[in-house]
Structure 1
Amino acid sequence: MSASGAATVLFDAPGPRARVRNHMITAVTVVVLVLVAWVVYSGLADKGQLTAEKWQPFLTANLWQTYVLPGIQGTLTAAAISIVLALILGLVLGVGRLAPNAVVRWVSSVLVEFFRAVPVLIMMIFAYFLYAQYGLFASKHVALAGVITGLTLYNGAVIAEIVRAGVQALPRGQAEAAASLGMRWGQTMRAILLPQAITSMLPVLISQLVVVLKDTAIGYQITFVEMVRQGTVVGSAYGNYIPALIVIAVLMIAVNFGLSALAVRVERRLRRSRRAPEPMEAEQPAEQPGD
């Protein structure tokens, strides 16, 4: 099959009229987007939100030290702790849903379905007021604990489903071969199935970890100091909401891009480390005299 045929195997190749129509639709869409962008820009410019004076506060160290850096620290702290805890919880619940014990499977399934069904914000608010009511954490850490709890429970349930799907996608012959060798279920899962499943599901896990980082912004509702909240505080203090939100958006994109790049690098390294070694070439027998 040619390269062009391989590229259109899932749909009919457009004919001359269809190509012209697609080009026209693309051109009209671009023009409309440019006009919308111009209208938005003109409206913001008329209100003075894009003047140099509105951007001036971001050139001072005081603004960054007082508002932006604490928000970045809060976001990264909540995301890092939640990612670690969600990975652990997801691994436990995912393996639990595959356990041979019916009680373990039932309990794990109930927890996964419950935490997936409850909105993250509801879990954050519930944990926040629960910790505040019983004084389980210091007052300055209550909001952080609430955010981490909500993110951990929800994303742990999602990761559990990713783990379960990754293990079930492996060929059944591997588990059967391990059982024929006398390996117990726990040994088979730990030494054979999980390492392969984790490697195969790394792209999905990476996407979920980025979601954890972005969902820290929901903590704004329980007074958690994170990047988006600090952006609105800056806009209120300096009267420059649009520049403040643009700066915060750029910082969030940079942090997400950095996390994605790091995760992709780890994925490539894991895939290389688990790649089967190349077979060694057989040594040629030495030539005997007279051959």
Structure 2
Amino acid sequence: MSTASVLFDAPGPRARVRNRIISVVTIVIAALIVWAVVAKLASKGQLTAAKWEPFLTGNLWKTYVLPGIEGTLTAAGLSIVLALILGFLLGMGRLSHVGFIRWPSAVIVEFFRAVPVLIMMIFAYFLFALYDVFMSTHLALAGVVTGLTLYNGAVIAEIVRAGVNSLPRGQSEAAAALGLRWGQTMRSILLPQAITSMLPVLVSQLVVVLKDTAIGYQITFVEMVRQGTVVGSSYGNYIPALIVIALLMISANFALSVAATRLERRLRRSKRAGVPQQTQAALEPGD
């Protein structure tokens, strides 16, 4: 007897045949759509070798692509660091037992989660320009980083709050029984455990930060997608230019995901390795 799935019953013979037919039909339709798109692009001359030749020259990369990559990675790196700091501070603020810390933190988080990222970028850009907060060459970067930091910091705060609240209450009760204060409990017991479980969600949000830098073109920020459209306009090869930019964005997101996955595995290994040492120390007789 076959084992039933937790979510649904195992399909019978007729259902399996029907599922195979649906899968084959879906694959055929998808292949036909891809073939039609490629044929249309080929008929327009967008996939000819001449359209790809500009990417074999160093001038195109130096003038257009590399400045876009630099802008995207700079904005993403600054936003990720600042959003993590802001998110953890607001997340801990929302978990605080002190009312005048918890309630303002909740208001800030809910407000910036509700405001679109583009609106915050535009507002910060014109605000910084009005009061000469940054040099004109850095205004667009400052607007992008501000918008991404505020929005993603609010989202990360909710991730932190959910991660800590998902831990068993016995952790906090045991810490209270040992006489630890709230800050000591959070810093030494709750956050180290919650970070490991939060990493997959945090990585997903950091990938969003990297992709959302493309919105900065609205405030004249030089980033990868904007530079791809500039290349397409200059050389008349929009499709090859956007394909190259897409591959670069996928590579950057993949590298970020791989680095976070390795960090998560390392944290889990160190956590498992620490358990036998603690057990052995507990079994040793006291002095």
> Normalising by the residue count of structure 1, what TM-score does the alignment of the two structures yield?
0.93
Displacement of 1:29 in angstroms is 0.9
Displacement of 1:38 in angstroms is 1.2
In structure 2, the residue matched to 1:223 is 220
In structure 2, the residue matched to 1:288 is none
Partner of residue 3 from structure 2, selected from 2, 5, 8: 5
In structure 1, the residue matched to 2:92 is 95
Q: Distance in 1 between matches of 2:6 and 2:96?
A: 41
In structure 1, the residue matched to 2:176 is 179
In structure 1, the residue matched to 2:120 is 123
In structure 1, the residue matched to 2:161 is 164
In structure 2, the residue matched to 1:199 is 196
Displacement of 1:219 in angstroms is 0.6
Partner of residue 190 from structure 1, selected from 182, 187, 196: 187
User: How do 1:12-27 and structure 2 match up within 5 A?
Assistant: 12-27=9-24
Aligned length: 280
Q: Distance in 1 between matches of 2:139 and 2:271?
A: 42
Identity over aligned pairs, percent: 76
CA shift digits 1:266-291 (9 cap, x unpaired): 111122222233355x99xxxxxxxx
Query: Structure 1: which 4+ aligned runs deviate by more than 3 Å?
Result: none
Counterpart code for 2:3: G
In structure 2, the residue matched to 1:34 is 31
In structure 2, the residue matched to 1:241 is 238
Q: Matched residue of 2:46: which SS?
A: coil
Q: Which has the higher helix share?
A: 2
Q: Matched residue of 1:70: which SS?
A: helix
Q: Distance in 2 between matches of 1:71 and 1:263?
A: 24
Q: Distance in 2 between matches of 1:74 and 1:67?
A: 11
Partner of residue 139 from structure 2, selected from 139, 142, 145: 142
In structure 2, the residue matched to 1:78 is 75
Displacement of 1:183 in angstroms is 1.3
CA shift digits 1:180-212 (9 cap, x unpaired): 222111111111111111112111111111111
> Normalising by the residue count of structure 2, what TM-score does the alignment of the two structures yield?
0.94
Q: Matched residue of 1:277: which SS?
A: helix
Task: Select the structure of larger CA radius of gyration.
Answer: 1
In structure 2, the residue matched to 1:49 is 46
Q: Matched residue of 2:180: which SS?
A: coil
C-alpha RMSD of matched pairs (Å): 1.6
In structure 1, the residue matched to 2:65 is 68
Partner of residue 271 from structure 1, selected from 268, 272, 275: 268
5+ long unaligned stretches in structure 2: none
5+ long unaligned stretches in structure 1: 284-291
Q: Matched residue of 1:137: which SS?
A: coil
